[in-house]
Amino acid sequence: MEIRIETEQEEDGRWLAEVIGLPGVMAYGTSRLQAMAKAEALAFRALAERLEHDESLPESISISLAA
The reported pLDDT for the residue numbered 25 is 95
What's the full length of the chain, in residues?
67
Domain ranges of the chain: 2-65
Q: Which of 60, 57, 21, 26 minimizes the C-alpha distance to 41?
A: 26
Instruction: Tell me the whole-structure pTM to 2 decimals.
Output: 0.77
Q: Are 49 and 41 in contact (CB under 8 A)?
A: no
Domain 2-65: top CATH class: alpha beta
pLDDT tens track for 23-58:
899 999 999 999 999 999 999 899 888 888 877 666
DSSP H or E run through 40: helix 32-52
